[in-house]
Amino acid sequence: MRLCARVLACTCVKKDYSCILAVSLLLACIVIVFERGSGGGGTPPDDNDDDADAMQLDSLAATSSAGQAAIATDGQPRFSFGSFQLDVEDERKLKREIVLLQIQKVEGLVAGFQEMVRRGDRAEDTIEGKAWEALGEVFGRKAGRLRSSWERKGRA
C-alpha cells in the first residue's frame, strides 16, 4: 500500500498511461489480498465458525504484519502488548478493527487513483479515459463492499 501511495503522491507534471496502469495493478493486488484474506468473497468470517474466523483474520495479518506475536498454549500466535496478553475475543475484535483501518486506507488509495485519472489530460470521451474511469469505479465498489461487510460483521 505504501508503494501505491507513493506513486499517487508523485508530483510529476504529467502521469501517463504506464503510471495509471502501474497504480491500477497495485490496487488490484491490494484488493485481492483483502478478498482472499476474508474468505475469497470479500466478506468477513462467520460468527458461528470461530476456527474459520481466526484463520481468515490471521491470514490477513500474515500478509501485512511486521509485528511480533506470542505463542499461546494451543500453538497459535497471540497478540500481546509487552506482558499483557489479550483474551481471544478481544484479540478477534482488535484484528477486525485493524482490518477496517486498512480497508479505509485502500479506499483512500482508490480515491487517489480516481482523482489521478480525472486530473489527467485525457479526454473523457476517449476509450482509454472511459476504461480508466470504469476501473476506478470497480475498485471503489470492491473496497466499499469489503468495508460494508466487515462493518456489518463488527456490529453483529
pTM assigned to the model = 0.70
Query: Quick one: 44 exposed, middle or buried, by C-beta within 10 A (0-12, 13-18, 19+)?
Result: buried
Greater model confidence, 108 or 82: 108
pLDDT at 73 over 80: no
Helix, strand, or coil (residue 79): coil
Q: Which of 3-7, 12-16, 124-128 has the lowest mean pLDDT?
A: 12-16
CA 36 from centre of chain: 10
Cell digits for 71? 505463542
Query: Of 146, 48, 29, whose CA–CA distance to 96 is shortest?
Result: 146
Query: What pLDDT, on a 0 to 100 scale, did the predictor assign at position 68?
Result: 44
Query: What pLDDT, on a 0 to 100 scale, did the predictor assign at position 67?
Result: 43
Q: What is the mean pLDDT of residues 128-137?
A: 88
pLDDT at 12 over 70: no
